[in-house]
Amino acid sequence: MSKATNYTAKIPDNQGYIQYTDEEHDVWHQLYQRQAINMPGRACDAYMQGLDALAMPSNRVPQLKEIDKVLLEATGWTTAGVPALISFGKFFELLANKQFPVATFIRTKEEFDYLQEPDIFHEIFGHCPLLTNPSFARFSHIYGQLGLAATKEERVFLARLYWFTVEFGLVKGADGELNIYGGGILSSPGETLYALSDEPERKPFDLIEVLRTPYRIDIMQPVYYVIDSVDYLDEIAKMDIMAAVTEARKLGLLEPKFAPKTIAS
Q: Identify which of 136, 208, 204, 200 has the alpha carbon closest to the alpha carbon of residue 167.
A: 136
Separation CA 63–CA 19 (nearest Å):
9
Q: How many CB atoms neighbour CB 44 within 10 A? A: 28
Separation CA 137–CA 80 (nearest Å):
15
Backbone angles phi and psi of 183, in degrees to 5: -65, -25
Q: How many residues can be counted in the chain?
A: 265
Separation CA 85–CA 208 (nearest Å):
28
DSSP notation for 192-244? HHHHTSSSSEEEE--HHHHHH----TTS--SEEEEES-TTHHHHHHHS-HHHH
24, 167, 191, 209: the catalytic one is 167
93, 122, 135, 209: the catalytic one is 122
Task: Note if 167 is an active site residue.
Answer: yes
135, 140, 187, 188: the catalytic one is 187
127, 154, 209, 229: the catalytic one is 127
Dihedral angle over CA of 203, 208, 210, 216, nearest 10:
-130
Task: Note if 187 is an active site residue.
Answer: yes
Separation CA 171–CA 188 (nearest Å):
17
Sorted by sequence, the CB contacts under 8 Å of residue 88 that are 6+ apart come out as 1, 2, 147, 152, 155, 159
Q: Would you please indicate which residues are annotated as catalytic (active-site) residues?
A: 122, 127, 167, 187
